[in-house]
Amino acid sequence: MSKRIALIAHDQKKDDLISFAQDNKAILEKYELVATGTTGKRLIEETNLDVIRMASGPLGGDQQIGAQVTSGHLNAVIFLRDPLTAQPHEPDVSALLRVCDVHDIPLATNKSTAQLILLSFQQLK
């Protein structure tokens, strides 16, 4: 089974996630990718990566991703969060942090840590 990575971003970080995915497309296309609805749609349209879309964050997509962590179907979560201006309708990173910590799944909240996760996956092959 190939590794699966979830990709999520607050509204103000979606452009950053798209640029991260474009910069790392050669690496990301080797993995199964899962994303919340709007983020997944943009990733598909702007990077041509294959992405399995969950519900949008405000409709529970982050909870669907959390359930995949719990059931052992994800190997990492990249959640580019906006620590300064996140809106009430956006996914809450704290629940995902908790479930990832419980199940020992790496979770990146910024591009530098996300890059380290991808590099470590490449080295562990």
Domain boundaries, the chain: 4-124
pLDDT in tens, 75-101: 999 999 887 775 656 556 788 999 999
Distance between the two ends of the chain, CA-based, in angstroms? 12
Angle at 19 between CA 75 and CA 34, to 5 degrees: 30
pLDDT at 22 (0 to 100) = 98
Q: Tell me the C-alpha to C-alpha distance, in Å, between residue 109 and each of 13, 17, 45, 99, 125.
A: 10, 11, 23, 14, 23
Q: Specify the pairing of strand 76-80 against strand 4-9.
A: parallel
Radius of gyration for the alpha carbons in the chain, expressed in angstroms and rounded: 13
Extract the annotated binding site.
10, 14, 36-39, 56-57, 89
Which is the catalytic residue, given 62, 92, 101, 104?
A: 62
Position 2 scores a pLDDT of 77
Domain 4-124, CATH: 3.40.50.1380
Instruction: Quote the pLDDT of residue 87.
Output: 67
pLDDT at residue 89 in the model: 62
Query: Cα dist. 39→100, 114, 115 in Å?
Result: 20, 16, 18
> Which residues carry a binding-site annotation for substrate?
10, 14, 36-39, 56-57, 89
Active site residue 23: no
For residue 46, what are the contacts with CB-CB under 8 A and spacing of at least 6?
18, 21, 22
Tell me how far the alpha carbon of residue 99 is from its chain's centroid. Answer: 14
* pLDDT (0 to 100) of residue 83: 76
56 or 19, higher pLDDT: 19
